[in-house]
């Protein structure tokens, strides 16, 4: 079974994330969206909100599920029998950063491959960090988020 882990904080999940996941569905038997718990980051939204949004967005497919995890991503891949890590790439700078992580993961576990999908052009500027900044200043973020993502 081809299982991929798509790790991230998804704080919040954006249309860019959803685009990458939807385009990856035909490539894998199962995609686990791993919402990482990172002690060095203070999320804007609770883990329950983020998992709930993901479950709602992908309610129509049994090939996608959301789970939270802590620790090394490569260890979580082992736990869920994922042989692939899925990552979205927006810019060359994303690739440089993600390649370093992929190389480290490859040294830690030689049988887990990282698969990069480039973002669709309309989502290349969308990031959770920028969306959170707009939210902090009461801006309208509807064009960047799935309609299922609501927090008020």
Q: Which residues are catalytic?
A: 17, 41, 90, 128
d(CA 124, CA 121): 5
Phi, psi of 105 (to 5 degrees): -60, -40
3-state DSSP call for residue 32?
strand
Residue linked to tokens 């789970």: 67
Q: From CA 28, how far away is CA 6, in angstroms rounded?
A: 11
**In angstroms, rounded to a whole number, what is the distance separating the alpha carbons of residues 15 and 128?**
10
Which residues does 80 contact at the CB level (< 8 Å), separation at least 6? 3, 5, 32, 67
User: Rounded to 5 degrees, what angle do the CA atoms 25, 27, 33 make?
Assistant: 45
């Amino acid at each position: 079974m081809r299982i991929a882990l798509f790790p991230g904080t998804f704080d919040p999940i954006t249309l860019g994330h959803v685009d990458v996941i939807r385009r990856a569905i035909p490539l894998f038997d199962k995609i686990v969206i791993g919402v990482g718990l990172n002690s060095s980051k203070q999320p804007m939204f609770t883990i329950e909100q983020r998992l709930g949004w993901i479950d709602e967005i992908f309610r129509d497919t049994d090939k996608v599920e959301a789970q939270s995890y802590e620790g090394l991503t490569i260890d979580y891949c082992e736990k869920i029998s994922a042989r692939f890590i899925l990552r979205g790439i927006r810019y060359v700078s994303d690739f440089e950063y993600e390649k370093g992580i992929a190389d480290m993961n490859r040294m830690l576990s030689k049988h887990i491959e990282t698969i990069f999908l480039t973002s669709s052009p309309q989502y290349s500027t969308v990031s959770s960090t920028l969306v959170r900044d707009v939210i902090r200043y009461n801006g309208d973020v509807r064009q960047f988020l799935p309609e299922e993502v609501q927090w008020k």
